[in-house]
């Protein structure tokens, strides 16, 4: 950490670095009410932290706490993010510090910025944002994609959220020069679904992933690497059902004039309701699976 910066690194993470213990960084939005309904969000947080610790790895959750950017949170601070409804993207970080936000949960883009500033390399999330449908008119493209192109961090994800325009998301990542890898798959996962049908480059070992990350750094490139892990087969949802729900959700979004950062929470909440809660355990399963893969890589790295 740079002295006198706006970033605080927890004692646990600091000790892990000193002892060369592997670290996996996490966003906090997914564990707030904006990501999963209560009490599933608390359960998901507990389970993900346990998976990481069971691997002998130290988890480092990112957030804004008391006007400071944070990497690694105490138990009392983790409690604060569960009920938080203040979502912080990368563009909001400076403002959140200047206004001394009491608590703010960080998205993928903000988390990647914090992880990069701290000098860490392995970050884990559920699913990244991407190009929203109709973006040719709205220009609604997630800051996650640009953050991946700016910060030299490995991002482990279950692909992009299924309700996005996935072909355009892949195209934007290609334009930005971000390597898009598949963990034992050669097609892009789509969050609740294992296969979007879009081809990507397959890797089968942690060593391969690390070689890609190392080659990126050796070339002097500042972008990150996106590693996409399919949701476990037993937890995946029915493709036809999900696509029909998304179609109707998008119509409802347009009718209600919902745009920007409000889109994702709205659709996730509707999917949870319309699938009678089936999307919630699916979300939890992919979070745990991603955390496990991230730990495998962090230990070798």
pLDDT in tens, 180-213: 999 999 999 999 899 999 999 999 999 999 999 9
By mean pLDDT, which of 40-44, 217-221, 258-262 is the weakest?
Answer: 258-262
pLDDT in tens, 110-161: 999 999 999 999 999 999 999 987 787 778 899 999 999 999 999 999 999 8
Query: Is the pLDDT at 1 greater than 60, yes or no?
Result: no
How confident is the model at residue 2, as a pLDDT? 42
How confident is the model at residue 276, as a pLDDT? 67
By mean pLDDT, which of 36-45, 208-217, 218-227, 276-285 is the weakest?
Answer: 276-285
Sign of the C-alpha dihedral computed for residues 164, 166, 168 and 172 taken in this order: positive
Kindly state the tokens that stand for 184: 């034992």
Helix ranges, the chain (H): 11-18, 40-54, 75-82, 93-98, 108-118, 135-138, 143-150, 166-175, 206-218, 239-256, 263-274, 279-300
pTM for the model: 0.92
Average pLDDT rounded to a whole number, residues 267-288: 83
Query: Is the pLDDT at 290 greater than 70, yes or no?
Result: yes
How confident is the model at residue 254, as a pLDDT? 77
| Catalytic annotation, pick one of 27, 33, 121, 288 | 27
Of 141, 183, 190, which Cα lies nearest the Cα of 162?
190
Report the chain's mean pLDDT, rounded to a whole number.
92
CA distances from 80 to 10, 30, 254 (A): 16, 13, 33
DSSP annotation of 164: S
pLDDT in tens, 7-19: 999 999 999 999 9
In contact, 63 and 35? CB cutoff 8 Å: no
Separation of alpha carbons 12 and 32, rounded Å: 22
Which pLDDT band holds residue 41 (cuts at 50, 70, 90)? very high
Average pLDDT rounded to a whole number, residues 217-242: 92
Kindly state the tokens that stand for 217: 């750094």
Q: How many CA atoms lie within 13 A of 41 on its CB side?
A: 23
Could you tell me which residues are beta bridge partners of residue 153? none
Average pLDDT rounded to a whole number, residues 86-106: 97
Which pLDDT band holds residue 291 (cuts at 50, 70, 90)? very high
Longest dimension (CA), the chain: 54
DSSP line for 134-145: THHHH--B-HHH
- Write the burial class of residue 176 (CB in 10 Å: 0-12 exposed, 13-18 middle, 19+ buried): middle
Query: Is the pLDDT at 288 greater than 90, yes or no?
Result: yes
How confident is the model at residue 268, as a pLDDT? 74
The percentage of residues in the chain with a pLDDT greater than 70, rounded to a whole number, is 98
Query: Is the pLDDT at 3 greater than 70, yes or no?
Result: no
Any catalytic annotation for residue 269?
A: no
Higher per-residue confidence, 234 vs 279: 234
Which residues, in sequence order, are CB contacts of 41 under 8 Å at separation 6+?
Answer: 30, 31, 32, 33, 35, 82
Separation of alpha carbons 245 and 251, rounded Å: 10
How many residues does this entry show for the chain? 301
Of 235, 216, 234, which Cα lies nearest the Cα of 226?
216
Superfamily designation of domain 7-300: Indigoidine synthase domain (3.40.1790.10)
Higher per-residue confidence, 259 vs 50: 50
How confident is the model at residue 251, as a pLDDT? 80
- Write the burial class of residue 57 (CB in 10 Å: 0-12 exposed, 13-18 middle, 19+ buried): buried
Which residues, in sequence order, are CB contacts of 74 under 8 Å at separation 6+?
Answer: 10
In contact, 295 and 24? CB cutoff 8 Å: yes
Any catalytic annotation for residue 27?
A: yes
Query: Is the pLDDT at 108 greater than 50, yes or no?
Result: yes
How confident is the model at residue 56, as a pLDDT? 98
| Catalytic annotation, pick one of 33, 87, 121, 161 | 161
Which residues, in sequence order, are CB contacts of 67 under 8 Å at separation 6+?
Answer: 96, 97, 99, 100, 101, 102
């Amino acid at each position: 950490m740079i002295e006198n910066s706006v970033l605080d690194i927890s004692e646990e993470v600091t000790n892990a670095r000193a002892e060369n213990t592997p670290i996996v960084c996490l966003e906090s939005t997914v564990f707030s009410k904006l990501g999963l309904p209560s009490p599933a969000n608390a359960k998901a947080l507990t389970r993900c932290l346990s998976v990481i610790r069971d691997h002998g790895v130290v988890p480092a959750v990112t957030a804004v706490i008391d006007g400071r950017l944070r990497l690694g949170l105490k138990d009392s601070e983790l409690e604060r993010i569960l009920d938080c409804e203040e979502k912080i993207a990368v563009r909001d970080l400076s403002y959140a510090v200047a206004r001394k936000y009491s608590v703010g949960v960080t998205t993928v883009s903000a988390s990647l910025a914090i992880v990069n500033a701290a000098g860490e390399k392995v970050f884990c999330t559920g699913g990244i944002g991407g190009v929203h449908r109709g973006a040719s008119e709205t220009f609604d493209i997630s800051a996650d994609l640009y953050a991946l192109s700016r910060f030299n961090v490995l991002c482990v994800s279950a692909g992009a959220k299924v309700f996005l325009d996935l072909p355009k998301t892949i195209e934007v990542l290609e334009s930005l020069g971000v390597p898009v890898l598949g963990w034992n798959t050669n097609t892009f996962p789509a969050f609740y679904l294992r296969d979007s049908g879009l081809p990507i480059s397959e890797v089968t070992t942690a060593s391969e992933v690390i070689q890609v990350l190392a080659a990126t750094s050796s070339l002097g490139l500042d972008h990150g690497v996106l590693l996409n892990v399919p949701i476990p087969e037993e937890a995946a949802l029915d493709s036809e059902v999900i696509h029909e729900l998304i179609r109707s959700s998008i119509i409802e979004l347009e009718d209600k004039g919902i745009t920007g950062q409000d889109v994702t929470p709205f659709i996730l909440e509707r999917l949870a309701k319309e699938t009678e809660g089936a999307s919630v355990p699916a979300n939890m399963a992919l979070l745990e699976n991603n955390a496990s893969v991230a730990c495998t890589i962090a230990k070798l790295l």
